[in-house]
Amino acid sequence: MPKRPPKPTDRPSVPRFKRPRNVPFSPFLSPFARIGSLTDLTKDEHLPEAEFAVLEAEIAKGSDRSAAILLGVYAQDALNGMMRSSIPRLDKRTLSDLFGQNGPFYSFYSTILMAHAMELIDDGTKKQLTIIRQVRNAFAHALRPISFRTPEVAEACLSP
């Protein structure tokens, strides 16, 4: 096996291993370690009351876009909580497999379908959650300015 080239002397030494989760951020870590830390921010199962108040204030004073995205995420988290409470195996590995990136409950769409198939939500709730998902996606992905007054968005929100 060939020898590795010498390390450059003009750059700081960077560890070649994954950083433990409880170690503070360092700009010298690999980008993948930082992505893992960002992913951890989305895994809170219960939002503390003080942080929920901050979320409510952000929704109230923010744009229509931020409100749609945040409320859509809130609805998805509530549905995920319902799904978690109906699963008999709650060990860390099972939850990671089910709710992780390739799991059946990773997307809002598939979670809505599974909750409906398991009769945890009825037809009306399925329809409402689907509208919330579609509106959230429209706000998240539209490059042009949209609001709740945009005809297509207003029509979707007012549909029975």
For residue range 38-81, list pLDDT tens digits in order.
767 776 566 778 888 888 888 999 999 999 999 999 999 899 98
Provide the pLDDT for residue 23.
55
Which pLDDT does position 147 carry in this prediction? 95
Reported as a pLDDT band with limits 50, 70 and 90, residue 100 is confident
Asked if the structure places residue 132 within a domain, the reply is: yes
Instruction: Report how many domains make up the chain.
Output: 1
**pLDDT-wise least confident of 97-101, 123-127, 154-158:** 97-101
Residue 6 lies in a domain: no
Over pLDDT 70: what percentage of the chain? Answer: 77
- Is 38 a domain residue? no
What is the chain's mean pLDDT, rounded?
Answer: 83
Backbone CA torsion sign across 126, 75, 62, 35: negative
Q: Would 16 be classed as within a structural domain? A: no
Question: 């990136």: which residue's tokens?
Answer: 101
* Strands, E assignment, 2-82: none
Structural domain includes residue 3: no
Residue 70 lies in a domain: yes
pLDDT band for position 6 (50/70/90)? confident
CA–CA dist 72, 66 (Å, integer): 10
Q: Which residues, in sequence order, are CB contacts of 111 under 8 Å at separation 6+?
A: 76, 79, 80, 83, 105
State which residues form the domain around 55.
49-158
Handedness of CA 72, 47, 81, 104 (dihedral sign): positive
* 44 within domain boundaries: no
